[in-house]
Amino acid sequence: MQVIALDTIDSLADDLSDYLGKDQVNSVKRAFYYAEQAHEGQFRRSGDAYVTHPLAVASILSKMHMDHQSLMAAMLHDVIEDTGITKTAIKSQFGNTVADLVDGVSKLNKITFSSRAEAQAENFQKMAMAMAKDLRVILVKIADRLHNMRTLDVLTPDKRRRIARETLDIYAPIANRLGMNNVRVEFEELGFAALHPMRSRRIATAIKRVRGNRREIVSKIQTALETCLEREDLPGRTIGREKHLFSIYEKMRSKRKSFSEIMDVYAFRIIVDRVDTCYRVLGAVHSLYKPVPGRFKDYIAIPKTNGYQSLHTTLFGMHGVPIEIQIRTEEMEAMANNGIASHWLYKSSDDLPSNAHIRAREWVNGLLELQKHAGNSLEFIENVKIDLFPDEIYVFTPKGTIFELPAGSTAVDFAYAIHTDVGNSCVACRISRRLAPLSEPLQSGQTVEIITAPGTQPNPAWLSFVVTGKARSNIRHYLKNQKHSESVALGRRLLNKALASFGSDLDSVTAENINAVLSQTKLKSLDHLLEEIGLGNRMSYMVAQRLAAHSKVTALDGGLAPDEQGSLAIRGSEGMVMNYAKCCHPIPGDPIVGHISSGRGMVIHTDDCNNIAEIHDNPEKCIAVSWDPDVEGEFSVELRVELENLRGIIATLATTITGAEANIEKISTVERDARVSIVNLSLNVRNRVHLARVMKRVRLIKPVTRVTRVKSRRVRKMIRSTIGIH
């Protein structure tokens, strides 16, 4: 890999004078001398003076024609961390902007983290914050990492592998996201060589071996393409594209292809003067060789998120050889290779931000939103990694606005991409005008319409299929807050019920008594205490006893047990902290009991459920509950239907149940013999009356011989008979 190094500040200054003013070049030199003095006596692992590193970083940035402040920050980027010089000192010498850039790039070595992964995540979070203030921070950081990767050889194998893995996981995707293709390729090649040296050497040797055989075919195809352009009078240059080691390795690994299969494809790039010429060249090459159906992509009309623009097509060449062609303008070529850096490299005189710059700014703002909603730095980095996946699809709103999403995205990802509130209140979707499940993966070119309803909330099940970091972090954030508020509300009801046995309630307990109990339990606030009770981590009766002891109140009638105090009313709208047991499927109308389960809150069982028989009368684990007269919602119940095997009977059964306004969640069939089948159904019903109506309708179907509701005692009986206990 080519290593670009400059020996002296004078040779760098000569290069800078090509595009910077004399005063600006002098400022960069002054920053170098300041860094040289600050790092005096410090050496790199290679034995070179430490200042050669910041000089090399500034040299990399000079190739991008970065401004003088970025170059000054490059010279000083390790001064705060590695010497005794403060940000204030840099500010007084070089101004606020340079000091902020240096601070943004500085590492977090002074903070102690519980793990290396967390340290990397925290470091990236700080970088995201600094990027939001000034995008040049990420470019200085990338140049810093690039020089470190070029000089990896002097490090120990362990450290080499760790830095290479971090580069491939975080920095190469960031370079790709910012459109800096040249930097991304170098990161990947250097990272691959450091992480898998033997694999890298073997692929490199194999490429050299086949290069001679390919040369003749490449030359023939290139000549044919150039002749075609001349014949059609289309100006443009044609260049063959070399495949990179890492991209070959990744294709072999992910697509399960052999080396020869990947090397059988020949890739060319045609670079022209104007956009309309791109499309004319496309027509010309399609008339020269037959295009492969479904392999044409127009990234000029719909650019990638990182600003990349090009026409892509695959052709059947001579003897059926596949040829991949990219067609783009000179400006698009510069953009593809330099991305956001092209804003400085090809900056116009009016100094307006380029499209790449605007896109990068939008991405950074998206990072900040992720950071705000993430629970911790590791969750944030997980979401960012998802966001950095390069494969994209393009979908449209009904009004024709284009949204770019990662491959595999669903309507929920699309809803959150539009706006957080749209995602939170999403209930259904239409994909290309047809109603579709929210979990259906979207395809490029589809029109997606999101149907929302006021008062709805995200479903925890969405986390199993959403792809984008924004959707994942927003759902988690909402559910976390929702669970907190619901557990506080349930905890308040449970504590008030327990306090009633002491002739008191929460409103009449003094702040002094509450603080005494908080001090005992080592909790920060009353809300934290109520949340712990609602989640089942603390028993309401025990907390009520402590509050009563502190307020010197004695229990009424010698202290009634909690289940003698009238039951807690279940409304059906308590949310995530109220769960309904899967073993007995209680529904409104059933006699019920509440089991306090640590971390889950309250689990409602039927009164005769076998699974809680042993703890049924334990006041610390179970609480008397009853259905509120105005209970609302749909509740799951299981039915077992025995019927004769007739054609279409399952469809008749499903239609009958749906006609009784019940929703079928799950259906499975067991054939008892050739004549009789048993159908197990999981339904959603409102209450026992509704269930009775459903069962009555099912019984009226002629082939049905028996309908029963499956409850836990039946399950227990079946288990006992299976193992021979009577």
Q: Kindly give, in sequence order, each residue whose CB lies less than 8 Å from that of residue 242, ignoring residues fewer than 6 positions away.
A: none
| CA of residue 385 relative to chain centroid, distance | 7
Q: What's the CA angle centered on 130, arms 17 and 70, to 5 degrees?
A: 5
Taking the C-alpha atoms of residue 94 and residue 92, their distance in angstroms, rounded to an integer, is 6
CB atoms within 10 A of CB 454: 5
Say if 452 falls within a structural domain: no
Closest by CA to 710, choosing from 684, 669, 682, is: 682
Same domain? For 495 and 599 the reply is yes
Say if 465 falls within a structural domain: no
Taking the C-alpha atoms of residue 283 and residue 288, their distance in angstroms, rounded to an integer, is 9
Residue 714: per-residue pLDDT: 41
Q: Is the pLDDT of residue 162 over 80?
A: yes
Same domain? For 489 and 519 the reply is yes
Give the mean model confidence (pLDDT) for residues 12-20.
Answer: 85
pLDDT tens, position by position, 54-111: 999 999 888 888 888 889 999 988 888 777 788 888 888 888 888 888 887 774 333 3
Across the chain, mean pLDDT equals: 79
> Residue 454 — φ and ψ, nearest 5°?
-65, 145
> Residue 682 — φ and ψ, nearest 5°?
-115, 120
Q: Say whether 477 sits in a helix, a strand or coil.
A: helix
Taking the C-alpha atoms of residue 723 and residue 377, their distance in angstroms, rounded to an integer, is 50
- With contact defined as beta carbons under 8 Å apart, do 468 and 382 qualify? no
Closest by CA to 250, choosing from 292, 296, 188, 304, is: 188
Say if 64 falls within a structural domain: yes
Residue 443, token pair as written in the block: 């395809």
Which secondary structure element, helix H or strand E, spans residue 606, and what is its range?
strand 601-606
Taking the C-alpha atoms of residue 169 and residue 192, their distance in angstroms, rounded to an integer, is 11
pLDDT tens, position by position, 212-271: 667 778 888 888 899 989 888 888 889 887 778 888 888 888 778 787 777 667 889 999
Same domain? For 297 and 221 the reply is yes
Q: If phi over 0 gives left and psi between -120 and 50 gives alpha, with beta otherwise, what is residue 400?
A: left
Inter-residue long-range contacts of 337-340, CB under 8 Å, 24+ positions, other chains counted:
337/180, 337/181, 337/182, 338/64, 338/179, 338/180, 338/181, 338/182, 339/175, 339/178, 339/179, 339/180, 339/181, 339/306, 339/307, 340/135, 340/139, 340/178, 340/179, 340/180, 340/307
**What CATH number corresponds to the domain at position 112?**
1.10.3210.10
Same domain? For 182 and 47 the reply is yes
Same domain? For 23 and 171 the reply is yes
pLDDT tens, position by position, 564-616: 445 677 877 666 667 888 888 899 999 998 887 776 667 889 988 888 888 87
Taking the C-alpha atoms of residue 269 and residue 345, their distance in angstroms, rounded to an integer, is 22
Taking the C-alpha atoms of residue 542 and residue 549, their distance in angstroms, rounded to an integer, is 11
Domain extent for 322: 199-345
Given 161, 195, 229, which residue is the final one in a domain? 195
Same domain? For 113 and 258 the reply is no
Say if 321 falls within a structural domain: yes
**What amino acid is encoded at 722 in this protein?**
T
Kindly write down the DSSP assignment for every residue of 274-338, as one continuous string.
Answer: SHHHHHHHHHHHHHHSEEPTT--EETTTS--TT----EEEEEE-GGG-EEEEEEEEHHHHHHHHH
Taking the C-alpha atoms of residue 228 and residue 367, their distance in angstroms, rounded to an integer, is 46
Q: Say whether 634 sits in a helix, a strand or coil.
A: coil
- With contact defined as beta carbons under 8 Å apart, do 614 and 555 qualify? no
Residue 400, token pair as written in the block: 């024709």
Residue 114: per-residue pLDDT: 45
Residue 371: per-residue pLDDT: 60
Which secondary structure element, helix H or strand E, spans residue 670, and what is its range?
strand 663-671
Give the whole-number percent of the chain exceeding pLDDT 90: 14
Q: Is the pLDDT of residue 559 over 70?
A: no
Residue 629, token pair as written in the block: 């007269």
Given 313, 345, 377, which residue is the final one in a domain? 345
Give the mean model confidence (pLDDT) for residues 697-715.
Answer: 81
Residue 109: per-residue pLDDT: 34
CB atoms within 10 A of CB 258: 9
Can 82 be counted among the known catalytic residues? yes
Residue 646: per-residue pLDDT: 83
Q: Which of 15, 36, 82, 264 is catalytic?
A: 82
Residue 555: per-residue pLDDT: 42
Same domain? For 97 and 221 the reply is no
Q: Kindly give, in sequence order, each residue whose CB lies less than 8 Å from that of residue 726, ignoring residues fewer than 6 positions away.
A: 720
| pLDDT band at 350; cut points 50, 70, 90 | very low
What burial class does residue 222 get, using C-beta atoms within 10 Å of its C-beta: 0-12 exposed, 13-18 middle, 19+ buried? middle
Given 195, 221, 243, which residue is the final one in a domain? 195
Q: Is the pLDDT of residue 413 over 90?
A: yes
Residue 133: per-residue pLDDT: 66
**What amino acid is encoded at 436 in this protein?**
A
Closest by CA to 684, choosing from 666, 699, 702, is: 666
Taking the C-alpha atoms of residue 115 and residue 100, their distance in angstroms, rounded to an integer, is 27
Same domain? For 58 and 103 the reply is yes
Say if 413 falls within a structural domain: no
Same domain? For 575 and 644 the reply is no
Buried b (16+ CB within 10 A) or exposed e, 144-179: bbbbbbbbbeebeeeebbbbbebbbebbbbbbbbbb
Q: Kindly give, in sequence order, each residue whose CB lies less than 8 Å from that of residue 346, ignoring residues fewer than 6 positions away.
A: 331, 334, 354
Can 81 be counted among the known catalytic residues? yes
Structural domain count of the chain: 4
**What amino acid is encoded at 596 in this protein?**
I
**Position of tokens 């699974």?**
611
Q: Kindly give, in sequence order, each residue whose CB lies less than 8 Å from that of residue 84, ignoring residues fewer than 6 positions away.
A: none
**What CATH number corresponds to the domain at position 660?**
3.30.70.260
Same domain? For 647 and 548 the reply is no
Sign, Cα dihedral of 144, 150, 155, 156:
positive
Round to the nearest angstrom and report the end-to-end CA distance of the chain: 77
Dihedral of CA atoms 418, 423, 427, 431 in degrees, nearest 10, equals 30
pLDDT tens, position by position, 276-302: 999 999 999 998 888 888 888 888 888
Q: Say whether 509 sits in a helix, a strand or coil.
A: coil
Which secondary structure element, helix H or strand E, spans residue 371, and what is its range?
helix 355-373
Q: Kindly give, in sequence order, each residue whose CB lies less than 8 Å from that of residue 396, ignoring residues fewer than 6 positions away.
A: 402, 403, 445, 446, 447, 448
**What CATH number corresponds to the domain at position 228?**
3.30.460.10
Same domain? For 510 and 605 the reply is yes
Q: If phi over 0 gives left and psi between -120 and 50 gives alpha, with beta otherwise, what is residue 575?
A: left
What burial class does residue 521 get, using C-beta atoms within 10 Å of its C-beta: 0-12 exposed, 13-18 middle, 19+ buried? middle
Same domain? For 153 and 237 the reply is no
Q: Is the pLDDT of residue 720 over 50?
A: no
Residue 83, token pair as written in the block: 């010497």
Q: Which of 15, 36, 48, 81 is catalytic?
A: 81
